[in-house]
């Protein structure tokens, strides 16, 4: 079982504790649209999404990035994230169960604080990566 | 189409006060039940002494605070029918606290295009900086938007 990262013990290659979210529902997308103020009907209106050439509505990229944020707080503690970046590579669809994963790629000191560089991503049940990115966590 | 002349231009500015209710609604929409976001009593006993926001909350706060941004946004020249969010990056100096007022400045940091098999893709990079009442930076956001030119 992978444990949260600690300054004293963090090591390159260490896995961050995974976080499983979903299965994604259309109600999740409606709730996220309302709370985030994102008016794009692509995520809430089936007809609109089909007319735009998709098989249906799909999740906001920022919903998945929000899950990665939760995953990083779980791994490093509240306030640990210094930088956090993702690319939106593949779409996330209703019905998919998404797992947030990551591992430590470097450990160094930044301004007198031990930090861990991490590669992070979300993936579905088949291991298809949806969001890929990096994060810098300041550890205590 | 977006123009390189827009690089460096301030797109919009604004300020807003972080509402604990909005933070809680945002956290719940992520399915993130961390008491630091939801429970004032637990947050008071926690490391920040008050309710704080989840890491990606700035994206929702920017919608609130940059209210003049919608019209400016339409001036970018992106094709909204094919608009996608390509990349997102945040830098944090400290967590955002409920009840504080932040001032945001959004500017266009880059405009470029790429040519591929599906045509010309326009890229616009927006950078938004948030400062607190003392003028200190709280967070920074870099948002890469992509649209296919029709």
The whole-number average pLDDT for the span A56-60 is 97
Distance between A102 CA and the closest CA of chain B, angstroms? 17
In a domain, B38, yes or no: no
Contacts of B56 in chain A (CB under 8 A): 62, 65-66, 69
Half-sphere exposure of B76 (CA within 13 A, CB side): 31
- CATH number of B98's domain: 3.10.129.10
What integer pLDDT is reported at residue B22 of this predicted model?
A: 97
Chain A residues 53-92 with CB within 8 Å of chain B: 61-63, 65-67, 69-70, 72-73, 78-79, 81-88
Tokens of A48: 């609109």
Question: How many other C-beta atoms lie within 10 A of the C-beta of residue B98?
Answer: 20
CB contact B31 to A (< 8 Å): yes
CB contact A108 to B (< 8 Å): no
What integer pLDDT is reported at residue B149 of this predicted model?
A: 87
Domain of B79, in residue numbers: 4-18+56-148
Given a cut of 60, whether residue A1 has pLDDT beyond it is no
Distance between B53 CA and the closest CA of chain A, angstroms? 10
The three-state (H, E, C) secondary structure of chain B, written as one string: CCCHHHCCCEEEEEEEECCHHHHHHHHHHCCCCCHHHHCHHHHHHCCCCCCECCCCHHHHHHHHHCCCHHHHHHCCCCCHHHCEEEEEEEEECCCCECCCEEEEEEEEEEEEEEEECCEEEEEEEEEEEEECCCCCEEEEEEEEEEEECC
What integer pLDDT is reported at residue B63 of this predicted model?
A: 87
What integer pLDDT is reported at residue A52 of this predicted model?
A: 86
CB contact B135 to A (< 8 Å): no
Contacts of B42 in chain A (CB under 8 A): none
CB contact B2 to A (< 8 Å): no
Distance between B109 CA and the closest CA of chain A, angstroms? 17
In a domain, B68, yes or no: yes
Residues of chain B with pLDDT under 50: none
Contacts of A118 in chain B (CB under 8 A): none
Selected residue with higher pLDDT from B80 and A125: A125
Domains with residue ranges and CATH for chain A: 19-24+60-138 (3.10.129.10)
* Structural domains counted in chain B: 1
Residue-wise pLDDT tens digits, B45-80 = 999 999 999 999 999 999 888 866 667 777 888 888
Cα–Cα separations (whole angstroms), residue A89 to A134, B34, B85, B133, B147:
14, 28, 10, 37, 15
Banded model confidence at residue A26, pLDDT cuts 50, 70, 90: very high
In a domain, B46, yes or no: no
> What is d(CA B14, CA B46) in angstroms, rounded to the nearest whole number?
30
Radius of gyration for chain B, computed over Cα atoms and rounded to the nearest angstrom? 17
In a domain, B41, yes or no: no
What integer pLDDT is reported at residue B75 of this predicted model?
A: 80
Banded model confidence at residue A16, pLDDT cuts 50, 70, 90: very high
């Amino acid at each position: 079982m992978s444990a949260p990262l600690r300054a004293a013990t963090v090591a390159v290659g260490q896995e961050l504790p995974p976080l499983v979210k979903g299965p994604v529902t259309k109600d999740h997308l409606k709730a996220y649209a309302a709370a985030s103020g994102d008016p794009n009907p692509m995520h809430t209106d089936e007809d609109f999404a089909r007319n735009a050439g998709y098989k249906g509505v799909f999740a906001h990229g920022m919903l998945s990035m929000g899950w990665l944020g939760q995953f990083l707080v779980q791994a490093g503690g509240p306030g640990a994230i210094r930088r956090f970046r993702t690319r939106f590579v593949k779409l996330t669809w209703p019905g998919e169960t998404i797992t947030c994963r990551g591992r430590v790629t470097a450990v160094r000191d930044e301004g007198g604080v031990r930090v861990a560089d991490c590669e992070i991503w979300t993936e579905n049940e088949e291991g298809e990566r949806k969001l890929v990115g990096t994060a810098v966590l300041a550890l205590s | 189409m977006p123009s390189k002349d827009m690089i460096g231009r301030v797109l919009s500015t604004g300020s807003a006060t972080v509402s604990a209710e909005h933070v809680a609604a945002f956290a719940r929409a992520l399915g993130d039940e961390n008491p630091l976001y939801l429970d004032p009593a637990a947050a008071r006993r926690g490391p920040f002494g008050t309710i704080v926001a989840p890491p990606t909350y700035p994206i929702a706060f920017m919608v609130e605070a940059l209210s003049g941004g919608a019209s400016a946004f339409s001036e970018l020249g992106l094709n909204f029918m094919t608009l996608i969010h390509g990349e997102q990056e945040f830098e944090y100096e400290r967590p955002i606290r409920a009840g504080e007022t932040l001032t945001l400045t959004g500017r266009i940091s880059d405009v470029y295009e790429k040519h591929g098999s599906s045509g010309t893709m326009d890229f616009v990079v927006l950078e938004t900086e948030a400062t607190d009442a003392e003028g200190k930076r709280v967070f920074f956001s870099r948002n890469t938007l992509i649209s296919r030119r029709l």
